[in-house]
Structure 1
């Protein structure tokens, strides 16, 4: 073949490749603000964590203040270990309050000091407990020793399963413990405040966290609910917070609450004011690259929605996804679990945007009264900087993912129709996740009386860099076409403390000046100055890098 022919073929190949890449990058989004879909319920305003003693520590208080400020509604908080025995010293996947002990004669002794510190921190900020009734106090456990575990990342997960995971030796004392806790809460916070909380029993009883039988868990629930309702008949309680794949266990639990004889009262049925379950994704490392699985998390949700939908008695019952995350172990850092390397940068933030949008869509499809989806992500006090835990902040510095929730906090009113020719259909994701060559270029939009918002993301399950997507956004149906447009962005350069930290040389002992810069970098960044925009005469053009998230805020 002649050199000129080779050159021509090479040029043509490059031209076709470039055209293909360009076609992938061009995306069109159309938002119709006059077409309501459903109310924009702030189901994202729920958070949780294993280590309750971090709540009132320095960085814990700071982060809770920031979370409370970003939400237009009271944030609900769920924590493990609220009844676990110990002196309150925190550790990974551990916490304690010493709420219940027994004296030398075997009489119950109640001590609410640490529990009060935790709940005081919430209530002071206008937050609400999703109060978990667990775990088993040492003095009540049928298998008390060993009690406090010594687990650390890299060791077997089963090592956390000590005396706190066992049934009580006396169910009536267990019921009385709940009664005394609720009665104390009313005395401290007032009846109206406690009525606004939700209570739930244990965590993942279908999995590793419960060392009893299914029937023993149902008995545990019945006695806890009896104690709670005895103290406050209007208190709200639910269960069973099963694992993501525990839909059969959830089904059995619902049947028990509706049809079985109550272990505590001897009557038919047990109180059920809310249904709770978990949903988790499943990242893996494939050929050295982290590959997420939104599919796995959404399939967990769908399986449990199907169970709830089977029961006409549960029509419109409040549903809470007690943990809703990309995977299962918040305290497993990326040094021991390389599949968790997504957590520090923008992949966690774009995954969060894309997954919550599909959660809304799936909830609409099954007509579920979803109250909240608990993001099991908080902070780990006094740990190495950016250690790869699933947290919202590191050493008091916010990570990119927290800025997605700041964006959600500006989305109010009703969800409205948003169409993107680059957005994966829900069915495709449920079948095969987001694994094609193209990224998921999606949008979620809302409209309130005097404002509107459009969230746009460029997500893919594979943690790879890629070409930027060119996005054209058309805004239709605004009663006032001329608006003030403000753009916020999360990407490599904006709202990203992790990239700033790396530019500093990844210091593990940053000085005060560096910390101030990191704190500023961790905030949601406004890109460009607010400007007047006439939606009747133009489109908005954006460039989004892979794993970026943008919020267009419109005010008039």
Structure 2
């Protein structure tokens, strides 16, 4: 029995909801994307959204043209306005990532992803900075300076990897960052600019970035990196399988920037993990499973100890880096499939959204919080074996002694919501259906129903301001228990023995 103290250990960090990832921003023009975002914000409520492609050609911002014998540039915000209007209407703000390079401005032809984002430096640095200035100035004009000051500005994405930045040229990235950061500050000194948005494979880049920024007096308001826990890819048609390191590896990666920057000019700056997930592949079936939710539960519960934000990559399977998905469940990054079917990891975040403000306890398999009105919430998860050598335990039991409000001899109402291999798991239902690539409308209805968590209700006795809670978890289960004091208003004549006309003894 774990004795949970009545005095809080502190406030529960909300770094887990500070940001979430998305496919390229041009996808935000689609109805499925906007419907998914509206559901996400209703159930969870993330504060910011980060995605690639703000400046890529499908957004149509950079439009060079010839006039009277000279090359000129027109900056068009037709799609940009529609995207940001749609985001803000759902209550989510952008985390701006500046990239990729517009084709007509690029110094080369190298691209990444199915949608061909150009990853080469600008042919003309001044044309690039004019573009950055034009975009930020327009955003301020449209949405107001106070609003845009709340939108962090990140320069590029994973420049330490050759697929994302030509030759992973570090000096070239430093030049791009320096020119961009100064331009951002020229637009408004209080806009927050940062980077370098490194991959988990970056070796020494962050330390050298700090040395460069200090030596050149370059503005840096935050540092960013990414975190993934998967090994080499083993490909099958339209899919990828990988080994996984323990989930604690992700927390180690979250903590790495603070350790690496100690004693450097960037020590103490906010750290944003602007992408994280188990696998870095958008076609890995692990993302769709109950295992995934239980695997990530300790990371979501404890990540705020190590970073100011950690952004799940991504909120929706409306995502096309390796091409258009070939099936409803295809291993996509999303918390939601196409057509807004909720995956088990979606429920992990939805459960976190119902936790209280005060953190009372946290352990290897549980998180206990209290709301301002005294309600107690318990998030519990079953242990997993990330090696895959065992399926994980069939049952895992957690026993807690919880402080609760209420009179001596009273009771609390316990509401339990559970997701595991069978319950709250549309992926399992889809597999039982025969894995239909394009489910018919009736099948979609069934999958939406299958994605509902299993719910149960009970009463627990209160003794001296405490109640004992025993939770037995199935394999790969995550569960949320909400405890509320019972104010019993049952009339004195109520007796269920009268339901069929009988008289109580």
Within a 5 Å distance, the mapping from 1:23-102 to structure 2 comes to 28-71=1-44, 74-85=46-57, 96-102=58-64
TM superposition shift of 1:514: 2.1
TM superposition shift of 1:489: 0.8
TM-score scaled by length of structure 2 = 0.84
Distance verdict in 2 for CA 1:503–1:457, change over 3 Å: same
Give 3-state SS (helix, strand or coil) of 2:204's partner: helix
The match for 1:119 is 84
Name the CA distance, whole Å, in 2 between partners of 1:150 and 1:206. Answer: 20
CA contact (8 A) 1:39 1:413 kept: yes
TM superposition shift of 1:295: 4.3
Name the CA distance, whole Å, in 2 between partners of 1:45 and 1:146. Answer: 33
Give 3-state SS (helix, strand or coil) of 2:63's partner: strand
The match for 1:185 is 139
Name the CA distance, whole Å, in 2 between partners of 1:538 and 1:407. Answer: 21
Name the CA distance, whole Å, in 1 between partners of 2:289 and 2:113. Answer: 31
Give 3-state SS (helix, strand or coil) of 1:516's partner: helix
Name the CA distance, whole Å, in 2 between partners of 1:148 and 1:413. Answer: 42
The match for 2:481 is 552
CA contact (8 A) 1:392 1:398 kept: yes
The match for 2:366 is 443
* 1:214 pairs with 2:187: no
Within a 5 Å distance, the mapping from 1:359-398 to structure 2 comes to 359-361=303-305, 363=306, 370-381=307-318, 383=325, 384-396=327-339, 397-398=341-342
Distance verdict in 2 for CA 1:175–1:284, change over 3 Å: closer
* 1:281 pairs with 2:229: yes
TM superposition shift of 1:148: 7.6
Name the CA distance, whole Å, in 2 between partners of 1:59 and 1:528. Answer: 32
CA contact (8 A) 2:394 2:475 kept: yes
CA contact (8 A) 1:182 1:232 kept: no
The match for 1:484 is 413
Give 3-state SS (helix, strand or coil) of 1:106's partner: strand
TM superposition shift of 1:61: 0.9
Name the CA distance, whole Å, in 2 between partners of 1:56 and 1:171. Answer: 30
* Aligned partner (choices 380, 396, 406) of residue 456 of structure 1: 380
Report Cα offsets for 1:83-125 as digits up to 9, x if no partner.
Answer: 012xxxxxxxxxx312112112221111111222221221111
CA contact (8 A) 2:107 2:120 kept: yes
The match for 2:296 is 352
Name the CA distance, whole Å, in 2 between partners of 1:327 and 1:149. Answer: 17
Give the aligned length.
Answer: 460
CA contact (8 A) 2:337 2:343 kept: yes
The match for 1:5 is none
Name the CA distance, whole Å, in 2 between partners of 1:284 and 1:410. Answer: 36
Distance verdict in 2 for CA 1:188–1:202, change over 3 Å: same
Distance verdict in 2 for CA 1:34–1:43, change over 3 Å: same
Name the CA distance, whole Å, in 2 between partners of 1:206 and 1:467. Answer: 40
TM-score scaled by length of structure 1 = 0.76
Structure 1 vs Structure 2 CA RMSD: 2.6
The match for 1:343 is 287
Distance verdict in 2 for CA 1:185–1:296, change over 3 Å: same
Name the CA distance, whole Å, in 2 between partners of 1:312 and 1:415. Answer: 33
The match for 1:299 is 252
CA contact (8 A) 1:166 1:210 kept: yes
Give 3-state SS (helix, strand or coil) of 1:103's partner: strand
CA contact (8 A) 2:303 2:310 kept: no
Name the CA distance, whole Å, in 2 between partners of 1:342 and 1:148. Answer: 24
Distance verdict in 2 for CA 1:408–1:115, change over 3 Å: same
CA contact (8 A) 1:492 1:499 kept: yes
Name the CA distance, whole Å, in 2 between partners of 1:253 and 1:542. Answer: 48
CA contact (8 A) 1:244 1:277 kept: yes
Name the CA distance, whole Å, in 2 between partners of 1:150 and 1:43. Answer: 30
Higher mean C-alpha deviation, range 225-234 or range 31-40: 31-40
TM superposition shift of 1:131: 0.5
* Aligned partner (choices 471, 484, 504) of residue 542 of structure 1: 471
Name the CA distance, whole Å, in 2 between partners of 1:38 and 1:247. Answer: 34
Give 3-state SS (helix, strand or coil) of 1:541's partner: strand
Distance verdict in 2 for CA 1:245–1:300, change over 3 Å: farther
CA contact (8 A) 1:500 1:521 kept: yes
Distance verdict in 2 for CA 1:498–1:109, change over 3 Å: same
Gaps of 5+ in 2: 235-239, 319-323, 486-505
Gaps of 5+ in 1: 1-27, 86-95, 152-159, 262-268, 334-339, 364-369, 424-441
Give 3-state SS (helix, strand or coil) of 1:418's partner: strand
TM superposition shift of 1:530: 5.9
Report Cα offsets for 1:218-272 as digits up to 9, x if no partner.
Answer: 2211221222222222211111111113251111112222x222xxxxxxx1222
* Aligned partner (choices 205, 216, 221) of residue 159 of structure 2: 205
Distance verdict in 2 for CA 1:134–1:61, change over 3 Å: same
CA contact (8 A) 1:140 1:174 kept: yes
TM superposition shift of 1:380: 3.4
